[in-house]
Amino acid sequence: MELPLELVDAILVNVPGSTDLSRCSLVCKDWRALGQSRLFKSISLRKASKNPQLLEILRTSSHIPSAIRTIDLNFISLGVVWKYMDVEELGELVSEILYRVSSPRSLVLRGPTTDSRITWSELPLGLQSSITKFMGLGTLEEIEIDGWAFDVPIHQFFSMLATAPSLRRLRLRHGFSGFFSEDTPEDFSPPVLNLDLLDIRVDDHLDVDPQVTSDLSQLFQLDAGSKLDLRVWLNTAFWAFGNIGEFLTEHIAEQVQTLELTIGLRNNYIYSLSSSANLQCLTIDGSNSPAAIQFARKTLITLPGQSRLRDLNLKFCFYTLPRKQWNEFIQFLAICPGLSSMRRVRFGIQTNEAQVEEANFGLAVLRERGWEATVSVNEGGGAGVKRAFPFYLYSRF
C-alpha cells in the first residue's frame, strides 16, 4: 500500500538528521525525491573540493535544483590561502552552481573576520556577475553578508541590493571596511527597499577606518509601508561610519517597530529614541558592558511621551550591578514618561540562585503598576559562571 505523498512529506519533516534523511531516501523513488529535496534545502559551499560533486548532482537531478532554498558561500577557511588558489576555476564552479539554483530564498556571503578578508574586487568577474544575477532572482528574500568586504562605492552596493525585488531581510556584519564614498552619477536614484529586518554590525577591529562620508539617506530609502525589525551593535566604529546613527535614529525611525540594541564594550554615544513614535518592542542587551544600566536609562529617557512601547527586554550582568543602582533603575522605570503604555518588562540577567530573590524583590514596584515583570536567570556558582552566559558575556571580544 502506497502512502500519500502529503503523508510522506509530513513524516520527513520530523526526521532529525541528514543521515536518517539519506536512509529514508532509499525506501522508494517517491521517498527519494522528497527526502533529497529536504536534504538539499540548504547547501554550504565551504569546501572547494566538494563543489564538482555538488555540481554533478545538480546537473543530473530534476528536483534538487528547485528544492534548494539557502545558499551559503562560506569562504572562511579560504582566507589565508585565497591568494594562492586558482580562483578562476573556483569561480566557474560556484557560478555554475548558482546558475542551476532556480528558487532560492536566502543568500549568505560568509568570509573570515580577520585581516585576510575576502574582497569583492578579488573575485573573478564571472563570479561577481553570477552573484549579482542571483540577487536579482525574484524569489530571494534574505541576504546576509558576514565578513566579505565590498570595496566598492557605497551607492553601487545599495544599487546591487535593489536588484533583489523580493528582499525582506538584510544582515550586514563585519563587512563595512571596504566601502568608500564617490560622487553619485547624475542619473542615480536612491533604491527603495521594502525590508522587514535590518541587522547591522560594524566591527571595531576591522572597520575602524571607514571611508564613507556620504549621506546614507541619499543612498537608499525604506518603502513607506515597511514595518522594520532593526538590530544594531553599538560601538565606536558604528558611530564613525558616515551618518549611520543619524540615518537610523531620525530618517527611518518612524518605521521601526521592533528594535534591538546591543551595547559593545566601546560605546560612548546614546541611541536616541525621540523619533521612534511607532516603536512597540525594545531590547537592550547590556551583558557586554559594565555601563549598561546607565546607557539603558539615558536611552529610555529619550522616548517620546506618547510612546507606543509595549514590551521592554533588558539583559544585564547582575554580578556587576551595585544593588543601589539596580533599585534606582527599577524606580526610574516606574516613573519614566515614555513607558506609560508599557505592559511587559523582561529582565535576562546573569546571577546565581542566592541573588534571584534579591533581583525579584525590586520588581514588585513594577508589578504593582500592573506590568508583567519577569526575570530569567542563568545560574552561576560562587566560583563563577558554570556555563556560557546565553547573552554571550565577554565572548564577543
Using one digit for the tens of pLDDT, what is the confidence trace for 29-77? 555 555 556 667 888 888 777 888 888 888 988 778 888 889 999 888 7
pLDDT of the residue at 396: 32
pLDDT of the residue at 121: 87
292: amino acid identity, one letter? A
Of 384 and 309, which is predicted with more confidence?
Answer: 309
Average pLDDT over residues 18-35: 50
Q: How many CB atoms lie within 10 A of CB 361?
A: 12
316: amino acid identity, one letter? F
| 22/44 Cα distance (integer angstroms) | 17
Alpha carbon of 219 to those of 214, 242, 247, 303: distances in Å? 8, 12, 11, 27
pLDDT tens digit string along 188-246?
888 899 999 999 998 877 766 667 888 888 888 898 888 999 999 999 889 988 889 99
> What angle is formed at CA 53 by the lines to CA 47 and CA 57, rounded to 5 degrees?
130
Q: How many CB atoms lie within 10 A of CB 346?
A: 15
Q: Look up residue 351 and give its three cell numbers.
A: 546571577
pLDDT of the residue at 229: 97
| 200/14 Cα distance (integer angstroms) | 34
Q: Which range has the top average pLDDT, 19-23, 73-77, 123-127, 378-382?
A: 123-127
Half-sphere exposure of 366 (CA within 13 A, CB side): 28
pLDDT tens digit string along 70-96?
999 988 876 555 655 667 888 888 999
374: amino acid identity, one letter? T
pLDDT tens digit string along 344-387?
888 877 776 667 777 777 778 888 878 888 877 665 443 333 33
The residues facing 345 across adjacent strands are: 312, 373
CB contact set of 124 (below 8 Å; sequence gap of 6+):
87, 88, 90, 91, 92
Do 260 and 231 contact (CB within 8 A), yes or no?
yes
What's the mean per-residue pLDDT of the chain?
80
Residues of the chain above pLDDT 70, percent: 79
Q: Are strands 228-234 and 197-201 parallel, antiparallel or unpaired?
A: parallel
pLDDT of the residue at 381: 40
Q: Is 219 helix (H, G, I), strand (E, B) or coil?
A: coil
Of 3 and 353, which is predicted with more confidence?
Answer: 353
pLDDT of the residue at 297: 93
pLDDT of the residue at 216: 87
| 270/224 Cα distance (integer angstroms) | 26
SS in 3 state form for 87-128?
Answer: HHHHHHHHHHHHHHCCCCCEEEEECCCCCCCEEHHHCCHHHH
